[in-house]
Chains A and B, each alone.
Chain A
């Protein structure tokens, strides 16, 4: 995987990383929340920390904000070591998951709070507050108290408040977690627009992989206090580094088996499911006989009733379940050995003309270049 990541522009050696997290460890008693983690984030990036709950992503964010002390390691922001700087002196602001608006202050006072702490002149504060209110489209709500706002409005006040001081780095802890699906999707795009407009570096923590894929320039997938893979959303999805990442990001069909060597069609895997050889174009460098895996996204599995006219990667099965999702349908296909695979097909025709139904005998096949070879 290293060959592909070096071609990314932000790993251009002329570019200096803006946030440098160096060998950071955080222990709570015997429990290691962050385990010797290093990460470089570049200016104006929209970086997502993605992982299951308890993976340490929020701890890492709170360490950047200054709320958790470092057990080991250090963090540089724009070349300055901030490890020992208390939270109120860091050039970093955070947007909290609970929004943490000050309930006894109006919206404009909330936004002005950070600026007042900096002893900014009154007229400049008012000007900035107005800009911020315009940015999040809440000008009419300036005099309201937080208790009089909806969830979406509170979320925007929290965003405006954390951006008002023009931080070098904005940390967002599950910023859209409390919003309903529709509002969340809309807000994702707003967030991206604001980030582009203000040119602030964003680090966002989320457990929602779709959200991470939509908004991020790069994603860091975390588990058990470690970064498993740091890459662009496309790479994370199309070229996961191992089964864990493949499984965590989106749906995936994993074929387990034994490496049988290479031929003109690609890497050969003796599948445990079909007892036959299946192919992936991607080459591997392991001894023949090693255990390897193929990962295949459901939308890359073709599902047909007729025997497809290809020379490899054909599996036979029976449709067990159909999930109709409007724009696409999900098919659960049971292979002869009882293994169930998932295939997704876009519904280009009207459903009435669809000819696949429960219990149909079908063929699944895929192009060898669609499968990813995983070594662990």
Chain B
């Protein structure tokens, strides 16, 4: 048993190192005094201060947050409706096709999604900018919300809805007063997930964005092409922090929801 335990520990350490050493290094070097990325020159937060003075990065961050906020909100609304419809209608003809079509963007190569969105905008002669990035982000994050809502609804007792109707509540008010509050945790975690997805998307944003709307990941990517600086490490660390926060919050909400069931 002991031998087996050791093996497990080693596997765990190797696995997690593989996953997290690059990120830990990045975070570590964002606090590096030295300008050289690979040489440790003592602890400092000066790159964060410098970051605050970099107008280009600040603009990109602001664009990213706006895009993420709007796209995740719209995606949550659409995804919730899709998820509800998929569970409400039971087994209709073509159900498998429809649910497959909702899931498809999750497994579709991002390059393909980005390219097809780009082609659509070109065809429709829509100028690329904030609007197009936002639309593109809504498209791909919607399916994640739909999946979350659908899995929540699978454990939802339909007679609760029926009970509300039975007690004289109209179908619309039943959704507002009963269904929505009950599935709210799933809606919130769907929103957080699509917010973080939008926050760190590079590929689709690169296709869909125009000159005026550079997102933070795009900005970082273009800066890296001129060489990695501790400044990039700093901004990446902030991004990692934000995403981690989002994911943790989403999972806490998810767990709380499970407990109340």
Contact = CB atoms under 8 A, between A and B. Distances in A.
A88 B182 contact: no
Interface string B174-215: 100010011000000000000000000000000000000000
B6 interface: no
Given A97-B159, A98-B157, A103 B260 contact: yes
Q: How large is the interface on B (under 10, 10 to 19, 20 to 34, 35 or more residues)?
A: 20 to 34
Contact of A114 (B159, B168, B173): B168
B160 interface: yes
Nearest to B167: A114
Given A96-B159, A98-B159, A102-B178, A65 B168 contact: no
A93 interface: yes
A287 B49 CA distance: 108
B168 A118 contact: yes
A86 B172 CA distance: 13
B36 to A, nearest CB: 56
A117 B167 contact: yes
Interface string A160-192: 011001000000000000000000000000000
B181 A88 contact: no
Contact of A117 (B159, B168, B181, B182): B168
A328 interface: no
B115 interface: no
B9 interface: no
Interface string A60-92: 000001110000000000000000001111101
Contact of B168 (A88, A97, A100): A88
A252 B54 CA distance: 91
Contacts of B181: 104
Of B157, B160, B166, B168, most A-chain CB atoms within 10 Å: B166
Of B157, B168, B170, B261, most A-chain CB atoms within 10 Å: B168
A100 B167 contact: no
Contacts of B166: 65-66, 87-88, 90, 92-94, 162
A102 B160 contact: yes
A10 interface: no
B164 interface: yes
Interface in A132-178: 147, 161-162, 165
A113 interface: yes
B23 interface: no
Contacts of A117: 167-169, 173
A65 B159 CA distance: 12
Contacts of B157: 98, 100
B163 interface: yes
B171 interface: yes
Nearest to A93: B166
A30 to B, nearest CB: 15
A38 to B, nearest CB: 24
Given A102-B164, A102-B178, A104-B181, A113 B159 contact: no
Interface of B: 157, 159-160, 162-171, 173-174, 178, 181-182, 260-261
Given A161-B167, A162-B167, 18 more contacts: A65-B162, A66-B165, A66-B166, A67-B165, A87-B165, A88-B165, A88-B166, A88-B168, A88-B169, A94-B166, A98-B157, A100-B163, A103-B182, A117-B167, A117-B169, A147-B260, A161-B163, A165-B167
19 contacts: A66-B165, A67-B162, A86-B165, A88-B168, A88-B169, A96-B163, A98-B157, A100-B159, A100-B162, A102-B182, A114-B167, A114-B168, A117-B167, A117-B168, A117-B173, A118-B168, A161-B163, A161-B167, A162-B167
The 4 closest A-B pairs by CB, nearest first: A114-B167, A117-B168, A100-B163, A100-B159
